[in-house]
Amino acid sequence: MPDADTPPGRSRRDLVKELSLGMVTFGMDARNLTPQGNLTAAQTRRLLPAGLVAAIGGELLASTAYLAMGRWANASAALVRQIVEVEYLAWAVTNDPDAAWEWLKSDRQTRLQRWQPGKIRQRSDGRFPNTGYHAHCEAGGHPVPEPATSIFDHRDEWVELSLYEAAEHGTATWLYLVQAVGDAPVKAAESHHRVIDEAYDVWRRTESLDHGRRGQLPGSDA
């Protein structure tokens, strides 16, 4: 694990990597526990949705880090928008396990009525502001001329910002998922949590983009 002298770019990548490993392992553990009969009915209803959310989030985080290595700025920003949506789902899984089970078994009509990002934001009592999500949609989530031009003209800055956002939203997602575990025997939640905590502490001590938000990047007014 790096120390507090680690460069910010390295600490962002380290945290995103640890979060991705933790979430992917979390998802595998959750899926493996059910066939083994090691969960109660209540634990199953809570943990299976959480495990699927974790598996999706872990792959998105790993892919964001991979794209950032190649300086693929627009693609990295697009994945961050999806990570934000996974954060919403992680909150919903923890906040209301019965509703999370509804999502797991949902058809398209149910998802349109209850599980679009805007619907979850409405249920979150202001936890997830519309402005933040819309900024992610504009920058990478949709092909919008002005933000796309800014991303390509300032590729390195945008790649680092995407890593920052992945670290921030990925950490929030992980913390929700850990809460969803409750008393279920998910080894990944315990074994990875300490490593993620350490990576998060280093990131917060070394991070230099606290005020480098999208609207403050060169050429961007998102």
Q: What is the pLDDT of residues 85-127, one digit of tens each?
A: 999 999 998 888 888 899 999 999 999 999 999 999 999 888 9
Q: Indicate whether 207 pLDDT > 60.
A: yes
- List the single range of 4-8, 20-24, 145-149 with lowest mean pLDDT: 4-8
Q: Is 132 exposed, middle or buried (0-12, 13-18, 19+ CB in 10 A)?
A: middle
Q: Where are the domains of the chain?
A: 8-208
**Virtual CA dihedral for 126, 215, 15, 157, nearest 10 degrees?**
170
Which is nearest to 85 in space by CA: 173, 176, 179, 177?
173
Helix locations, the chain, DSSP H: 8-33, 41-69, 73-95, 97-104, 108-110, 117-123, 130-136, 145-153, 155-181, 187-206
How far does CA 38 lie from the centroid of its chain?
Answer: 28
Q: What is the average pLDDT score of the chain?
A: 86
More confident residue, 193 or 175: 175
DSSP state letter for 216: G
How far does CA 134 lie from the centroid of its chain?
Answer: 16
pLDDT bin (cut points 50, 70, 90) of residue 41 is confident
Spatial contact of 137 and 212, defined as CB atoms under 8 Å apart: no
Q: Indicate whether 203 pLDDT > 90.
A: yes
Helices 73-95 and 41-69: angle between axes, nearest 10 degrees: 170
pLDDT bin (cut points 50, 70, 90) of residue 200 is very high
**Two tokens at 14?**
């380290």
Q: For a pLDDT cut of 90, what percent of the chain falls above it?
A: 57
Question: Would you state the pLDDT for residue 218?
Answer: 39
Burial 69-100 (b: 16+ CB within 10 A, else e): eeebbbbbbbbbbbbbbbbbbbbbbbbebebb
More confident residue, 54 or 180: 54
Alpha carbon distance 92, 49 (integer Å) = 10
Q: Indicate whether 219 pLDDT > 60.
A: no
